[in-house]
Chains A and B, each alone.
Chain A
Amino acid sequence: MNKSIKGIVFLAMMATAGCSSQTAVTSPEKQESNVTPPATNVPAASASPVTSAPSPSGYGFDRWQTGPLGDAFFDFDSSALGADAQAQLKQNAGWLDNNSLTKVLIEGHCDSRGTAEYNLALGERRATTAKEYLKKLGVAPSRLEAVSFGEEKPFDTNTGEDAWAKNRRAHFVIKK
């Protein structure tokens, strides 16, 4: 819930700054959120969208992901980019192409299984793999910074594959 509100505020700020797309302001409506009233007031501010990027889509976007850059997800004990992860990164590269001044921090995360020290290394592999892929797609490396949180900052603290799957990710944070 708190995350949803933050997401909406963030998107609203982006919209008022005039650097957002149609995509960004509509995405809150897709969330399982009952805090819709503030969001519905936002579109007026985005009368002049700068880009025509497609709506963010991918795993979790219909339920809990927020922001214009979606997470790339991984299998257990893997930093390999599957088809879904590659598709997400291509979409992210498109957004970065349209927002060429934006720099992003790529956070590598792991689920709570396995051991913490190894997971810190694995998380970094995930972040750097995502970074290298974006570089191949033409994003300037100076705009991308990779960091690992290992299993230290799980998105979902529950146990079970549903939670773990959300935590095995390369997560994108737009730098201010």
Chain B
Amino acid sequence: MPLSRQVFSVVFMFLIALPLHLLAAEPGGEYIAIRKEGSGKIALAVSKLDSRTTEESKLAEHLDTIIHDGLDYIGAFSMISPPLNVKNKGEGEHLLINYGALDSVGAAVYVCGAVTTTSGTMTLAMEVYDTSGAKLLFRKTYNGQPQQFRATGYAFCSDLVEFLTGKKSVFGSKIVFVSNKTGFKEIYECDFDGHGVEQLTNSRTISLTPSLSPDGRYLAYTDFSSGRPALYIRDLSDGKTSAAEKSGVSIDPGWKNSREVATTLSFEGDQAIYLITTGGLVSRRLTNSNAIDVSPSFSPDGNKMAFVSTRNGSPQIFIQDLPSGQASRLTFSGRYNTQPSWSPLGDKIAYTTMDNGGQINIFVIGADGSGLIQLTANSAENESPSWSPDGSMIVFTSSRKGVKKLYIMNATGENQRPLLPMDGEQMQPCWSLFRQ
């Protein structure tokens, strides 16, 4: 995406059609719709996909749902029903878009497309129009197997969001988590929106704290197969799994980069955080205290590590500067602060506080210790925050309905809602950074 791209601040509201024309009409400039802070959402109208055959119309129906629900899910758009007669066949392949009708229903951006299948291959051809500028923004085709309709729909959504907001999107990202659905705690994954659940471990003991490497290739987790909690690293490309070499207990891995994962080991007596290679070899010790040091989470550049330590007494979040080895305390509010999660944007850390009544809630604090805000309240235990790859959302565990389930919220704490329907308890979600 060129840095020189012109950025338009466009306030999408129903009643201000006139300024929209003025703002978006700059000739030659590309189009990014930036939502102003608190200015609401991008008004988006999406037509149902065109199709010719019965098979295509079934696919189109699936894709319509995936695209509509996916775009609605991320909270950046207000979804508007397109007006009747919004498009007509023009000369050749070109469509004639009824911009006036779109404008009158308040749609700032219009999406339409068609699905075709030829000899087993599905082609999704999509077009995106700027209503106020009365022009085509982009056109792109996506090819895939018909059974890959979900990934194909997400690929378009991802392009659309990046084009309109200038930011990476959550489409294509995965969430790994723990569930006791089978009677044992095993590790599962699902898409960013809770679809496509797959079971990844079948240890039939206790598997905990899954964490995906930034490139998505490795899954690190803690597992009791050997009778004790040990670190396992699975290469998802070939399924090969290595165990960390040291005896003793291993707890809660967090990736520093796609080649090194940090975890708590106790082979030297105290619980300290060590760096481990993807092959399971200990490369170096990171923390130096006689206390418990646990739950590492790294800044995006890998130079700083947030973690939990009892070096001052009760568990608190600390940040260690890795080049210098200097650690400083981050949290001073509350006496039981654990589960730090560093935002992929780098500026914030989410964590949990347990209050004296035993309630656990999620907070966000600046990496410099400023701007503490509380995201959950009065809803039993809310734990294990993990950021979406674009930093716009947080997945977490909540027992607000009695049983632990996964929930999603905006990074501001708004719009808290369940992630997926699944039997048993779900917990310890970890949102991947990568997109397929």
Query: Cβ of B195 < 8 Å from any Cβ of A?
Result: no
- Please determine whether A120 and B206 come into contact, CB atoms closer than 8 angstroms: no
User: Contacts A77-B336, A121-B251: A116 and B229 contacting too (C-beta < 8 A)?
Assistant: no
User: Contacts A115-B383, A117-B209, A152-B206: A124 and B336 contacting too (C-beta < 8 A)?
Assistant: no
User: Contacts A77-B336, A121-B294, A124-B266: A147 and B249 contacting too (C-beta < 8 A)?
Assistant: yes
Q: Hey, what's the 0/1 contact readout for A59-85 against B, CB within 8 Å counting as 1? A: 000000000000000000100000000
Determine the distance from Cα of A125 to Cα of B227 in the docked complex, in whole angstroms: 17
Query: Cβ of A10 < 8 Å from any Cβ of B?
Result: no
* Contact segment of B34-42, B352-360, B364-372: B352-360
Within the complex, the shortest CB–CB distance from A74 to chain B, in Å, comes to 14
> Please, which residues of chain A bring their CB within 8 A of the CB of B315?
77, 118
> Please, which residues of chain B bring their CB within 8 A of the CB of A152?
185, 206, 208, 224
Residue of B nearest to A111 (CB): B358
> Please, which residues of chain A bring their CB within 8 A of the CB of B360?
114-115
Residue of B nearest to A114 (CB): B354
- Please determine whether A77 and B314 come into contact, CB atoms closer than 8 angstroms: yes
Within the complex, the shortest CB–CB distance from B258 to chain A, in Å, comes to 22
Query: Cβ of B116 < 8 Å from any Cβ of A?
Result: no
User: Contacts A77-B314, A120-B251: A114 and B338 contacting too (C-beta < 8 A)?
Assistant: yes
Query: Cβ of B130 < 8 Å from any Cβ of A?
Result: no
Determine the distance from Cα of A124 to Cα of B308 in the docked complex, in whole angstroms: 15
- Please determine whether B271 and A117 come into contact, CB atoms closer than 8 angstroms: no
Q: Which of the residues A77, A118, A147 comes within 8 Å of B308, measured between beta carbons?
A: A118
Q: How many residues of B contact A (CB 8 A)?
A: 33
- Please determine whether A122 and B292 come into contact, CB atoms closer than 8 angstroms: yes
Q: Which of A115, A117, A125 has the most CB of B within 10 A?
A: A115
- Please determine whether A116 and B427 come into contact, CB atoms closer than 8 angstroms: yes
Determine the distance from Cα of A124 to Cα of B315 in the docked complex, in whole angstroms: 15
Query: Cβ of A128 < 8 Å from any Cβ of B?
Result: yes
Within the complex, the shortest CB–CB distance from A155 to chain B, in Å, comes to 16
> Please, which residues of chain B bring their CB within 8 A of the CB of A124?
249, 251, 266, 271
Query: Cβ of B158 < 8 Å from any Cβ of A?
Result: no
Within the complex, the shortest CB–CB distance from A105 to chain B, in Å, comes to 8
Within the complex, the shortest CB–CB distance from A101 to chain B, in Å, comes to 21
User: Contacts A147-B249, A152-B185: A120 and B358 contacting too (C-beta < 8 A)?
Assistant: no
Residue of B nearest to A113 (CB): B358
> Please, which residues of chain A bring their CB within 8 A of the CB of B189?
none
> Please, which residues of chain B bring their CB within 8 A of the CB of A121?
249, 251, 264, 271, 292, 294
Q: Which of B209, B352, B358 has the most CB of A within 10 A?
A: B358
> Please, which residues of chain B bring their CB within 8 A of the CB of A150?
229
Q: Which of B224, B251, B271 has the most CB of A within 10 A?
A: B251
The 7 A-B residue pairs with the shortest CB-CB distance in the complex, in nearest-first order: A117-B252, A115-B338, A121-B292, A121-B294, A147-B228, A118-B338, A120-B251
B residues adjacent to A (C-beta < 8 A):
185, 206, 208-209, 222, 224, 227-229, 249, 251-252, 264, 266, 269, 271, 292, 294-295, 308, 314-315, 336, 338-339, 352, 354, 358, 360, 383-384, 427-428
19 contacts between A and B (CB under 8 A): A77-B314, A77-B336, A115-B338, A117-B208, A117-B251, A117-B295, A117-B308, A120-B208, A120-B294, A121-B249, A121-B294, A124-B271, A125-B292, A128-B266, A148-B229, A149-B206, A152-B185, A152-B206, A152-B224
